[in-house]
């Protein structure tokens, strides 16, 4: 079981890094975020005790993380815990290890824990990575509408990166709704 857990850790870490490297914007998931999620799920750990093993990336700055599973004690009194984003488009599942003595309270459980960064101020994205939309550029004497693809998620009012469908031209636009963005020259 430990061997499968370690193999899974390595595969998910590599796939997660590759997938995020070939997508839009990337934001690091930090040990502090994971520690807070684990603490809320019943495993009181500190940021220094969380070992990510490799950089973990998210498509958004504030992903809602959830504990997917715990793999039991490993050599040296460490436990492997599978973490994922509630929205599967924001990050790939990944493993962390933390020191632990005694029974693992999360073993075999799925526990949703909203990231502490999420609060009443969190606004969910209305446009997602890969969505097709229209960039509207208005200036005195000029009105243009350009077909674009979102290169990152965005909430209303947020400025995100965009590209033409053939990925030859790149823009930035302010999200108006799920199909329209406002740009300028």
Angle at 31 between CA 129 and CA 160, to 5 degrees: 20
> Using CA atoms, how far apart are residues 93 and 15, in angstroms rounded to an integer?
9
Whether 173 is in a domain gets the answer yes
Q: Which domain holds residue 167?
A: 132-183
141/176 same-domain check: yes
Residue 156 has pLDDT above 60, yes or no: yes
pTM of the model: 0.47
9/60 same-domain check: yes
102/138 same-domain check: no
> Using CA atoms, how far apart are residues 72 and 87, in angstroms rounded to an integer?
26
Task: Give the model's confidence band at 139: pLDDT under 50 very low, under 70 low, under 90 confident, else very high.
Answer: confident
Task: Give the model's confidence band at 114: pLDDT under 50 very low, under 70 low, under 90 confident, else very high.
Answer: very low
Over its C-alpha atoms, the chain yields an Rg (Å, rounded) of: 20
Predicted local confidence at residue 73, as pLDDT = 59
- Higher per-residue confidence, 2 vs 181: 181
Max CA distance (Å), the chain: 71
Whether 174 is in a domain gets the answer yes
Predicted local confidence at residue 182, as pLDDT = 94
Whether 125 is in a domain gets the answer no
Encoded tokens for 13 = 């870490």
108/137 same-domain check: no
144/106 same-domain check: no
Least confident range of 44-53, 65-74, 128-137: 65-74
106/136 same-domain check: no
Predicted local confidence at residue 6, as pLDDT = 53
């Amino acid at each position: 079981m430990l061997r499968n857990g370690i193999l899974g850790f390595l595969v998910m870490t590599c796939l997660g890094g590759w997938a995020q490297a070939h997508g839009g914007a990337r934001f690091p998931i930090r040990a502090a975020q994971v520690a807070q999620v684990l603490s809320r799920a019943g495993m009181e750990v500190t940021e220094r005790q969380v070992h990510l093993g490799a950089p973990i990336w998210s498509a958004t700055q504030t992903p809602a993380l959830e504990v997917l599973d715990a793999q039991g004690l490993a050599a040296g009194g460490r436990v492997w815990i599978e973490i994922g984003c509630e929205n599967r488009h924001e990050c790939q599942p990944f493993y962390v290890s933390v020191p632990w003595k005694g029974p693992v309270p999360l073993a075999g459980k799925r526990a949703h824990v909203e990231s502490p960064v999420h609060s009443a101020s969190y606004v969910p994205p209305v446009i997602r990575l890969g969505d097709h939309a229209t960039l509207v550029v208005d200036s005195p004497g000029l009105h243009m509408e350009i077909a674009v693809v979102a290169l990152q998620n965005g909430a209303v009012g947020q400025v995100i990166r965009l590209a033409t469908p053939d990925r030859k031209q790149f823009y930035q636009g302010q999200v108006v709704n799920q199909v329209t963005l406002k740009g300028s020259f």
